[in-house]
Structure 1
Amino acid sequence: MTSFAGRVAVVTGGTRGIGRAVAARFEAAGATVVTLARTEPRQAVGRFLAADLGSRAAVRAAFATVAAEFGRVDVLVNNAGGARPGPALDYPEAAARAAFDLNVLGVLYAAQCAYPLTPEHGGAAIVNIGSVAGTRPSPGTAVYGAAKAALAALTKSLALEWAPRIRVNCVLPGPVLTESLTAYHGGPEAAEAVGRGLPMGRMAEPDDIAEACLFLASEQARHISGAELLVHGGGEVPGFNRAAREAARPRGFGEGK
């Protein structure tokens, strides 16, 4: 197993769902973990610092504490994100600005604050959590998808500007079986039914995304930067392709006869 002993990993939005799984995975790998989020959970992974991640002043204050207590940042996982769903035609201005503040500008603020705390000789990594919503349209996600597309562009620019000191990559999850997504689909059974429509037959678990983050931050990915790693179970299967996909599914000798 990859060891992160002696290294400091900061995870934004690290108190629930994907972020909590990422924080726990880095802690299990030996890292000293700092989680940043707006609200403190009952039990945080690692050192918790409260911060509004869409506010530049709040992010700076949090990283000042990281600098004072730990003196360095080796890994930054920008997981905090999200936006309310809704049609583009009447999407509220305040909600649109909040989406870009959190998903794009908040990531930039955290990366800017982490940069001077990373080792000058290289070896640091930033992993941004994007979304497949930034690569293809879907109903009700115009603003969220636009923000995640901007995040992908930001990732590539930072990778270019900050190499070789810091590698910067982006993980693009598809549907992930979190509490919020389960509630969005109307409960566990409905969410599982959605997952069965994916080529891999299930939604991703938060740990699947955490493993991708661990890999991209590790020495095994030392020459990977500016990349987008899809973790989406093979993508979505269009309705008109489902019958054809089933007909084309490889079968064992004699199966189906």
Structure 2
Amino acid sequence: MPLALDLTGRTALVTGGTRGIGLGITQALLAAGATVVTCSRSAVEPVPGTTHRVCDVRDADAVQELIGSLDRLDVLVNNAGGAPATDAATASPRFHEKIVGLNLLAPLVCAQAANAVMQRQETGGAIVNISSVSANRPAPTIAAYGAAKAGLDSLTTSLAMEWAPRVRVNAVDVGLCRTEQTDDHYGDDASVARIEQTIPLRRMARPEEVGNVVAFLASDLASYVSGATVACHGGGETPAFLLVQKGL
């Protein structure tokens, strides 16, 4: 029998799902047949085929209102996140609080609200947390972000155990990915090309490739996958001594 990744009849909520990696996730879920709702802090043009709602995921009341307004919720993708590069020695406590709030506490708030709905559904549900390779390696200039993502990976395993068997919870540790913000983060095309030579697959990810991993984890093909952190990073990072040997 052929394998089929089919999310027809299921409703998915993708936080921050209108641009960058979030857009790739939204498009992958749509392609699999899901009904997709996206949210962000401000009003934006909806992705064709989706419904968009304004919601600050750091606001527990706003999250409860959004999720409570849905007829059902089968998939939650905690994608909203990020952090500007800042020296950890001089960043203010308020700055660090905001970064941890967005990248760790907000996913927990959203997951709690989604779990309450999914536990009541006969078919349960799936939660996918979008994390980062920064969770498992030094993250200079984004230290609070890396720490928050490490916490998110840990949170994933705990929630998967606590909310089973009705709800599955997994994470995706995303590596370097080409988005509309690539130039801001990594420089011009020449700089990006040099960086890509340090990745075993010799290129950054495309947002839709991350979306494909999320769609799999949300589907019945992953029905026995829970508490897992899937690396989507092109093979990781080449060790520094090998880069030196190759003249990179």
Using structure 2 for the length normalisation, give the TM-score.
Answer: 0.92
Distance 2:144 2:244 in 1: 32
Q: State the shift of 1:141 in Å.
A: 1.9
CA contact (8 A) 1:159 1:166 kept: yes
Which sections of structure 2, spanning at least 5 residues, go unmatched? none
Distance 1:43 1:9 in 2: 15
1:94 is aligned to: 94
- State yes or no: 1:39 paired with 2:39: no
SS in 1 for 2:72: coil
1:84-136 Cα offsets, whole Å, 9 max, x none, are 22222112212111111111111111111112222543441100000010111
Distance 1:236 1:161 in 2: 33
2:207 is aligned to: 206
* Matched positions, count: 242
Quick one: structure 1 residues 41 and 196, their matched pair in 2 at CA, closer, same or farther if it must change by over 3 Å?
farther
Distance 1:188 1:47 in 2: 34
SS in 1 for 2:171: strand
Identify the range of structure 1 (145-154 vs 116-125) with the bigger mean alpha-carbon deviation.
Answer: 116-125
1:252 is aligned to: none
Distance 2:122 2:46 in 1: 35
Q: State the shift of 1:198 in Å.
A: 0.6
Summarize the alignment of residues 97-176 of structure 1 with structure 2, pairs less than 5 Å apart: 97-118=97-118, 120-176=121-177
1:55 to 35, 53, 59: 59
Counterpart of 1:82, as a letter, is G
Identify the range of structure 1 (55-64 vs 31-40) with the bigger mean alpha-carbon deviation.
Answer: 55-64
1:32-72 Cα offsets, whole Å, 9 max, x none, are 10001112323434110001111112212221222xxxx21
SS in 1 for 2:181: helix
Distance 1:188 1:167 in 2: 40
Using structure 1 for the length normalisation, give the TM-score.
Answer: 0.89
CA contact (8 A) 2:24 2:211 kept: yes
Quick one: structure 1 residues 142 and 73, their matched pair in 2 at CA, closer, same or farther if it must change by over 3 Å?
same
- State yes or no: 1:5 paired with 2:8: yes
CA contact (8 A) 1:76 1:127 kept: yes
SS in 2 for 1:20: helix
Distance 1:220 1:229 in 2: 15
SS in 2 for 1:178: coil
Q: State the shift of 1:194 in Å.
A: 1.2
1:232 is aligned to: 233
Distance 2:30 2:56 in 1: 23
SS in 2 for 1:191: helix
Distance 2:183 2:129 in 1: 23
Identify the range of structure 1 (115-124 vs 15-24) with the bigger mean alpha-carbon deviation.
Answer: 115-124
SS in 1 for 2:107: helix
Distance 1:152 1:239 in 2: 26
1:241 is aligned to: 242
Q: State the shift of 1:245 in Å.
A: 7.3
Q: State the shift of 1:242 in Å.
A: 2.6
2:82 is aligned to: 82
What RMSD in Å do the two structures reach over aligned CA positions?
A: 1.7
CA contact (8 A) 1:159 1:169 kept: yes
SS in 1 for 2:185: helix
Q: State the shift of 1:206 in Å.
A: 0.5
Identify the range of structure 1 (87-96 vs 139-148) with the bigger mean alpha-carbon deviation.
Answer: 87-96
CA contact (8 A) 1:83 1:95 kept: no
CA contact (8 A) 1:54 1:98 kept: no
Distance 1:103 1:84 in 2: 12
Q: State the shift of 1:238 in Å.
A: 2.6
